[in-house]
Amino acid sequence: MPASQLLRLELKEDTKQLREQLEAELAECSEVESTYRNKVEIFMMEYGIWHISELDYPLRREFRQFLTGQIKPACYSIYEKAFDRIKQHSIHSQMRVVNSRRIQLKYENQVFFLPYHPNQELVRKLDKAQRKDELAWDFGRKAPEKMKRQVFSVLNYLLEQDKDRETLRKHIDSLKMFYDFCAGEAIEDIELLELQQYQRFADLLKPGKETEKNIGIVDLCRKILFLQAEEIHWEAHVWYLERFHFQPERIDLSSPVVTLSFIEVTHKRNRELLKKYMRYGLGITNLTIKNLRSEMYHVKNLLVELMQDEMADICAISSEQMDAYFRKQQERRIQAATFNKMVMGIQHFFDFLLARRYIEKVPFCADYYLKKAVPQHLDRSVELEVSREILQKLYRFPEKTRLMYLHLWSIGLRISEVCTLKGDAYYIQGRDAWIQVYQIKMKSYKRIPIPDALYKLMKEYLKKYEIGPADYVFQNQKGGAYKSSTFRSNMQKCCVENSIQNGEYLFQSHDYRHSIATLFYDNGVSLQGVRDYLGHVYEEMTRQYIDYMPRKLANANEEYFSKHNSLAASLKKGKE
C-alpha cells in the first residue's frame, strides 16, 4: 500500500476517534437538549475543534456566523445559550479537582467573557442578563495597560463581593461605561483621574437618578484599588482612610472621616506638596483626623484660589499675595473663631514647608491676621413643650432611637458619645447609677450620674441583645459604632411621622446639651459644676451653652415687682 494512502487511513482513523471522543463529551452535557448539542457538534467538527474545553468567546462569535442562514435570527440566542452551557459544563468538570474559589484569575490581553469565569457560582448571578454580549470585556483593545489591569481587578472584586444580583448587574454596567470612557480618553491610571476628566465622564451620562449611580462607579473603583493594593498608594488623588489603622482617640467612630481628596487642586506641584503635608499629618502628628481634615480644607481652598501656572508653585508665593488672600477672606465676614482656624491651618502648612526646606521663611505673620474671638451666647435650648410632646409619643419610636434620645434628653451627652458607648458604661456606685463616657473631643473619660430609670432600661437592653462589656451599645449592621448621621435621620423622620410641633420641629441633637446646662444653672448648680458635667475645658464654652439671661431677667423682674407692687402703682403714688 502506498505511503500516501496509508497516511490517509491513519488520519481517517484518528478523526473517527476524535469524533467519538467529542460525541462522548457532548453527551455528558445532558442539561442541553440534543437539538442544540448536535448543532454545536457540527460546528466544532467543521472548525476542527475536538474538545469542548477549547471553546472560547472568539469561537462563540464564529458560531453566530455559522448559524446565519440555517436558523431564524430570533433563535440565535437560544443556540448561543446552549453553546455557553456546554462551555460551562467543561469548566465545571475541570473545577471539580480544584477549589475554584481559590483560583486567582490572571489578566490576559484578550476578551474576558464573564459566563466563562472559573467560579461558576459567581456566573449564576449573571444568568438573567438579556444581552450576553455586554458580558464580554475586551482587554485586548488599544488602551493604557495599567488602566486595563485596574479595571480587570475591580471587575473581579465586584464579582466576588457583590452578593445581590441586581447590585452586581448595575455595577458591571456602570463599570463597562467607565472602562469605555477611560479607553477613549487614554487614561493611564484611574487613581490619578483629573477633575476635568471626571467632569467629562459625568457630562456623558444622561441626567436623572441613574446618573448618580453611574458616576458613583468612579469612587467605587478608586476605593477598591486603594484598599486592595499591597502597599499604600500615596500618589492617589483620593485617600480612603479605612486603609489606615489610627489610634482610637484620633477617630470619631460615630462620624468618621472617610476620604481625603486632593483632586480639586489641579496644580500638580501644589497638589504633591499638599499630599506630603497630609502624609506627615496622618503619620507623625497626634491631631484627630477631623481636625486634620479641617486644616486640609483651609489649605486646599488657598491652593485652589491661587490660580498659579505650572511654572510657579506655593513655595514662590509672596507676602503681598498672602495679604491679598487673607483680606479677601475677611470680606466674606467669616466668624472670628473660624477665620482664626483658617489662618492657623495655613500657618501649619507653611511651617511644614519651612521645616522640609521647601521655603526659607513663612510669607506672612499669623498674629497680624488673628482676630479677637468674642464668645457668643447660643440660645438653643429645646422648648419644654417640644420635649413633653416627644416624650408622650416616644413609645412610637423604634427602640434603639428612643433609648438614644433619652441619653440626650436626660443627661445631655454629645451624640458622638451616645453612639460610641460601650457595654461597660453603666454601673452602680453606692446608691447612685453612673455612666462612663469617652469624650472624643477631649480625648478623655468623664463619669456622671444618671437617672435610675435610664440605668434600668439600659441594663435590660444590654441583657436582651447580649451586649458584652467591650461591645458597642448601639451598633450598626456590622457591629461597629452607630453613625450619628443615621440617628439624626431616624429622629427627624420620627418627628415628622408623629407630627411633633405639627411636623415643623427640626431635631438638633446638640440642643439638648444646652437644655441640660440651662436646667442645672437655673437650679443653683455653679458655672464650674455645669462645666465639669458637660466636659468642657473652659468656662467660656459653658457660658455659650447656658440660656441664663432670659430666666435671670425674668426672676429679677418678678422679685422687683413683688416688692414694689407694679409700675402703675408707683406712678399713682408719685402723683399723690
Report the SS3 class of residue 480: coil
Looking at 369, 402, 434, the residue that finishes a domain is 369
CA–CA distances in Å: residue 569 to residues 95, 555, 558, 574: 102, 20, 15, 9
Give tens-digit pLDDT for 449-464.
Answer: 999 999 999 999 999 9
Looking at 338, 369, 400, the residue that finishes a domain is 369
Asked, for residue 114, whether it belongs to a domain, the answer is: no
Specify whether 316 is located in the same domain as 397: no
Specify whether 504 is located in the same domain as 537: yes
Domain that holds residue 52: 12-97
pLDDT at 553 over 70: no
Least-confidence region, from 125-129, 155-159, 571-575: 571-575
Least-confidence region, from 125-134, 285-294, 384-393, 493-502: 125-134
Report the distance separating Cα 251 and Cα 241, nearest Å. 10
Specify whether 358 is located in the same domain as 406: no
Give tens-digit pLDDT for 368-390.
Answer: 999 987 766 566 788 889 999 99
What local confidence, expressed as pLDDT, does residue 7 receive? Answer: 45
Specify whether 417 is located in the same domain as 482: yes
What is the tally of structural domains in the chain?
Answer: 3
Strand bridging mode 432-439 / 238-240: unpaired
Asked, for residue 290, whether it belongs to a domain, the answer is: yes
Asked, for residue 275, whether it belongs to a domain, the answer is: yes
Asked, for residue 196, whether it belongs to a domain, the answer is: no
pLDDT at 155 over 90: yes
Specify whether 333 is located in the same domain as 445: no
Specify whether 333 is located in the same domain as 446: no
pLDDT at 4 over 60: no
Give tens-digit pLDDT for 338-353.
Answer: 999 999 999 999 999 9
Report the distance separating Cα 254 and Cα 420, nearest Å. 6
Looking at 325, 346, 369, the residue that finishes a domain is 369
Specify whether 262 is located in the same domain as 393: no
Asked, for residue 552, whether it belongs to a domain, the answer is: no
What confidence category does residue 574 fall into, taking pLDDT thresholds of 50, 70 and 90? Answer: very low
pLDDT at 61 over 50: yes
pLDDT at 146 over 50: yes
Specify whether 305 is located in the same domain as 419: no
Specify whether 389 is located in the same domain as 503: yes
Dihedral sign, Cα of residue 230, residue 232, residue 238, residue 243: positive
Question: 138 with 57: CB under 8 angstroms?
Answer: no
Q: How many C-beta atoms surround the C-beta of residue 342 within 10 A?
A: 21
User: Hunting for cell 466674606 — which residue is that?
Assistant: 332
Asked, for residue 115, whether it belongs to a domain, the answer is: no
Question: Residue 440: which CATH number?
Answer: 1.10.443.10
Asked, for residue 489, whether it belongs to a domain, the answer is: yes
What local confidence, expressed as pLDDT, does residue 555 receive? Answer: 56
What confidence category does residue 63 fall into, taking pLDDT thresholds of 50, 70 and 90? Answer: very high
Q: Which helix (H) or strand (E) holds 447?
A: strand 444-450
DSSP 487-533: HHHHHHHHHHHTTGGGGT----TTHHHHHHHHHHHHTT--HHHHHHH
Specify whether 415 is located in the same domain as 509: yes
Specify whether 297 is located in the same domain as 392: no
Give tens-digit pLDDT for 175-234.
Answer: 999 999 999 999 999 999 999 999 999 998 877 666 666 899 999 999 999 999 999 999
Q: What is the mean pLDDT of residues 432-459?
A: 89
Asked, for residue 7, whether it belongs to a domain, the answer is: no
User: Hunting for cell 438614644 — which residue is that?
Assistant: 404
Specify whether 274 is located in the same domain as 390: no
